[in-house]
Structures are given as structure tokens and as C-alpha cells.
Chain A
Amino acid sequence: MIAPAQYLALAGMLFILGSLGVLIRRNVIVVFMSIELMLNAVNLTLVTFSKMHGDLNGQVLAFFVIVVAAAEVVVGLAIIVSIFRRRQTASVDDARLLKW
């Protein structure tokens, strides 16, 4: 029998890998995919808590996270494409006009 702690540990590991990807990768698309990985890890904890408490509220919340993630991907990729058109680069280090 698998305990909730195992699912939560797995979700925690996926979240850590996602945050590591945001910190070490320079390709903006891979950074974006790492953010998706973190969102999915959080969804896994929500669904685990849902079963742990015998309550469907967690699943509804995960459903909302999926919808918001879809909206976020659409806008984010549009921004990436428009930055690429203007600067011909897909690296996070090249878009730094706002940096002081």
C-alpha cells in the first residue's frame, strides 16, 4: 500500500527539479517548461491531499490550476515569440533592458 507521504515526496522532488531548471537553464523555452513541471508537481500534491482527506475540493482546485496554466502558457509563448522577433534570441540573458 502506498502512503500519501510517498506521493508527496515524489511531488516535492518534481518541484525541486523544476525550480532547478528555472535557475540553471538559459533557454527561455526550457525555463518555461520547468515552470510547467512545478505547476504539475503542485497539482499532484493537491490530488493527493484530496484522496487523503476524502474530499473532492482538492481536485477542483487542481482543475483550476490546469486552466490557469493553459492561459499562462498562451500569453508566455506569445511574449517569447515577440521578443524573438525583435531581438533574434531565445536566451534569458539577452532580455535585460529593465536591469539596472
Chain B
Amino acid sequence: MEQYVFWPTAVLALASALLMLFSTNAVHSALALVVNFFTLAVFYILLDAPFLAAVQVIVYAGAIMVLFLFVIMLLGVDRQESLLETIKGQRVAAFALAGVLAAIVVFTLRTAFDQTPFAGLEQANRAGNTEGIGRLLFSRYVWPFEVTALLLIVATIGATVIGKRRASRDAVAQETADVSEENA
């Protein structure tokens, strides 16, 4: 059963990643990435992680991709990407280095994980996957959890400060002049 879900989803995941990589339109890239996030949610369900699958769909495919599309629309989509190489031979070097990385991954998988079976999560998920994660999150990982809360606050404030448009002095002066004119 598992392989009938795994192989089509794996092909879809790789195809959408490639489409994201080589599509010239940023909106197409974003949509391909949404498909990729959904395939990862399917893998999480196959790997007995239903809670993470839900989080993946809600946070990644929902919130983060909407943010991406929002920024793409804000910046304008019709801009052509320049194909000029600022560093000579960068593309060739990039593909060569990706090949080296692939060789390292294949070598590591062959030597370390060739025939290791799954131990399975039946034992750990007995009380439910979400309950198990919650138990760990609020006992062993309670300190990292609190730090994460702080991180989210800092990120929110930081994004607000960075994204704020500085009101230029002339515009403010103009506005006050208009208001006083109306009053007079």
C-alpha cells in the first residue's frame, strides 16, 4: 500500500521542485512550491506524523506561501531576470558542486542506511501523535518552546520596523498645510 502512495508523490515532489527552479515567472515558482509543500504533507502522513502534516499544510502551504505571493504581487511580476553572470562560470560551477553534493549523499546513504528498517512509531504514538508531541514539547522542550515564543515576538517587531515606510518630511508638511487651509 505504502509504495503506491510513495512513488507517485515522490515524482510529483521532484517535478514541482524542478518546475520551481527553472520557471522564469516568479508566480509559477510559488505555485510549484505550494504543490511541493503538499507532497511533503503526504510524506509526513506516511511517516506517522499526522500533526506535522497538518502544521505543514496550515503554516507552509497556507501562511508562508500567501506571504510569498503577496510580496511577488507587491514587487511586480513582469520583471525579466537578467541572465548575465556576475561571477564567471558560476552556473557551471553550481551544477558541478550540486553533483558533488549528490555524490556525497548517495555515498552516505549507501554506507550508513542501506538496509536499516523502520522501528515504527506505534509505541510512541499509542496515546496519539499530537498528545505525544505535546507531552514532549511541554516537558523536555519547554525551555526551547519559550525561546521560540520570544523569537516570534522579535520577528514580528523586526518585520514591522523594517517594513515601515518612513514618512518623508515634505509629505507631512504638505498634509498639515492642506488641513490648515481647509480649516481657514
Rounded to whole angstroms, the CA-CA distance of A10 and B74 in the bound complex is: 34
Residues of chain B within 8 A of A98, CB atoms compared: none
Q: When the two chains form their complex, are residues B102 and A60 in contact, meaning their CB atoms are under 8 A apart? A: no
Residues of chain A within 8 A of B151, CB atoms compared: 67-68, 71
Rounded to whole angstroms, the CA-CA distance of A71 and B95 in the bound complex is: 30
Rounded to whole angstroms, the CA-CA distance of A78 and B75 in the bound complex is: 12
Residues of chain B within 8 A of A75, CB atoms compared: 155, 158-159, 162
- Consensus secondary structure, chain B interface: helix
* Residues of B13-33 whose CB lies within 8 A of A: 13-14, 17-18, 20-21, 26, 29-30, 33
Residues of chain B within 8 A of A23, CB atoms compared: 90, 93-94, 97-98
- Consensus secondary structure, chain A interface: helix
Q: When the two chains form their complex, are residues A77 and B68 in contact, meaning their CB atoms are under 8 A apart? A: yes
Rounded to whole angstroms, the CA-CA distance of A85 and B110 in the bound complex is: 49
Q: How many residues of A contact B (CB 8 A)?
A: 71
Q: When the two chains form their complex, are residues A91 and B82 in contact, meaning their CB atoms are under 8 A apart? A: yes
Residue in B closest to A20 when the chains form the complex, CB atoms: B98
Could you list some 11 contacts between A and B, CB below 8 A? A7-B47, A8-B113, A17-B18, A21-B21, A29-B26, A52-B118, A54-B121, A56-B124, A56-B125, A60-B137, A93-B86
Residue in B closest to A79 when the chains form the complex, CB atoms: B162
Q: When the two chains form their complex, are residues A60 and B136 in contact, meaning their CB atoms are under 8 A apart? A: yes
Q: When the two chains form their complex, are residues B91 and A24 in contact, meaning their CB atoms are under 8 A apart? A: yes
Residues of chain B within 8 A of A54, CB atoms compared: 119-124
Residue in A closest to B58 when the chains form the complex, CB atoms: A66
* Residues of A7-61 whose CB lies within 8 A of B: 7-10, 12-21, 23-27, 29-30, 32-34, 36-37, 40, 43-44, 47-48, 50-57, 59-60
Tell me, rounded to whole Å, the shortest Cβ–Cβ distance linking B80 to chain A.
Answer: 10
Closest 6 CB pairs of A and B: A54-B119, A23-B94, A71-B155, A12-B105, A78-B159, A78-B162
Q: Does B55 contact A (CB under 8 A)?
A: yes
Q: Are A25 and B60 CB-contacts (below 8 A) given A8-B109, A56-B132?
A: no
